[in-house]
Amino acid sequence: MLYLATPSGGDVRAAMRAGLLACMTTPAQGNVIPPGCLYACDNGKFGKGWPGAEAWFAWLKATLDRYGPDRCLWAVAPDVPMDATATLPESLPWLQQIRSLGIPAAFDAQDGSEHGLIPWDLIDVLFLAGSTEWKTSPAAHRLAVEARERGLDVHMGRVNSRRRLRIAQAFGCTSADGTYLAFGPDTNLPRLLAWMNELHTTPTLFGDDA
């Protein structure tokens, strides 16, 4: 599993250049993506970074022009956080447009998306968004399993603890992201890298909040 973060400080950027982490970027972020690293493009809908659909798509195209589509893992279509019913029509007009740029299209699954609200044939990545309770629920797990059975990648957002990483791993996620390194990167980077190494060397265990 690959962890995506913001490039917070020299050591984090070095880890990204070394392929230990990937970079998550958004329209409002303004960070320079480290040379040679993999990156993904979130839309900024969660929080205060959404510039509007047309400005977002222009930003996406400019980002791909600057850093190249070959290193872009995916871009997330516009969504409505926590609302599966509203997310589907918000995302549908943009999924093929993202693909037309030569990159995979990610779709944000929200609370309730398990009720037939995933456009499976139009997406390349299932992004487990929504509330914390939902994205760690059996319903989200079932969607993740179906996505993997369909040959899609699965990403979990807002993963900022060892336990949450373990849940993402148990769900079969191929990547996760969080803001863990934005706060105290000198301390948190070694800890996160140790967690990631542990994921690759030991089986999933639950019940530890370390």
For the stretch 125-142, pLDDT in tens is 999 999 999 999 999 999
CA dihedral 6, 9, 11, 14 (to 10 degrees): 60
Taking the alpha carbons of 127, 129, 135, 139 in that order, is the dihedral positive or negative? negative
Name the phi and psi angles at 191, rounded to 5: -65, -45
- Rounded CA-CA distance 197/199 in Å is 5
- Judged against a pLDDT cut of 70, whether residue 153 lies above it is answered with yes
Q: Determine if the pTM surpasses 0.85.
A: yes
* Structure confidence at residue 124 (pLDDT): 98
Average of per-residue pLDDT across 143-168:
97
- Phi and psi, residue 153, nearest 5°: -80, 155
pLDDT tens profile 48-97: 889 999 999 999 999 999 999 999 999 999 999 999 999 999 999 999 99
The CATH fold assigned to 2-201 is TIM Barrel (3.20.20)
Q: Which residues contact 3 (CB under 8 A, 6 or more apart)?
A: 21, 22, 159, 165, 175, 176, 177, 178, 192, 196
Residue with tokens 């044939």: 121
Domain ranges of the chain: 2-201
Positive or negative CA dihedral for 181, 186, 188, 191? positive
Residue 208 has pLDDT above 60, yes or no: no
Q: pLDDT value at position 204?
A: 61
Mean pLDDT calculated for residue range 185-203? 93
Mean pLDDT score of the chain: 95
Task: Quickly state the pLDDT bin for 203 (edges 50, 70, 90).
Answer: low
